[in-house]
Amino acid sequence: MEILLHPSYFPSISHFVAMAQSEKIVLEMEDNFQKQTNRNRMYIYSPNGVQLLNIPIKHSALTAHQKTKDVQLETAFDWQKQHFKSLEAAYRSSPFFEYFEDDIVPIFEKKHKYLMDLNLQTMEIVSKCLGMPFQPESTVEYFKEASQTDFRSLINGKKDFSEFDVYTQVFEEKHGYINNLSILDLLFNEGRHALAYLKNQSL
What is the per-residue pLDDT for 76? 86
Indicate the Cα dihedral angle 128, 90, 153, 67, nearest 10°. Answer: -80
Per-residue pLDDT tens over the stretch 59-80? 776 667 899 999 999 988 899 9
pLDDT above 70 (res 195):
yes
- Cα distances (Å, whole numbers) of residue 182 to 61, 126, 143: 31, 11, 27
The answer to whether 38 and 9 are in contact (CB under 8 A) is yes
The region of weakest confidence among 59-73, 85-99, 110-124, 170-184 is: 59-73
Q: Kindly report the pTM of this predicted structure.
A: 0.96
Domain boundaries, the chain: 2-199
Residue 164 to residue 180: CA distance in whole angstroms? 7
pLDDT, residue 63, reads: 64
pLDDT at 61: 65
Cβ neighbours around 134 below 10 Å, total: 14
Instruction: Tell me the per-residue pLDDT of 121-171, one tens digit each, with 9 for 90 and over.
Output: 999 999 999 999 999 999 999 999 999 999 999 999 888 999 999 999 999
pLDDT tens digits, residue range 18-59?
999 999 999 999 999 999 999 999 999 999 999 999 999 997
3 state SS of 26? strand
Q: How far apart (Å, rounded) are the C-alpha atoms in residues 148 and 158? A: 23
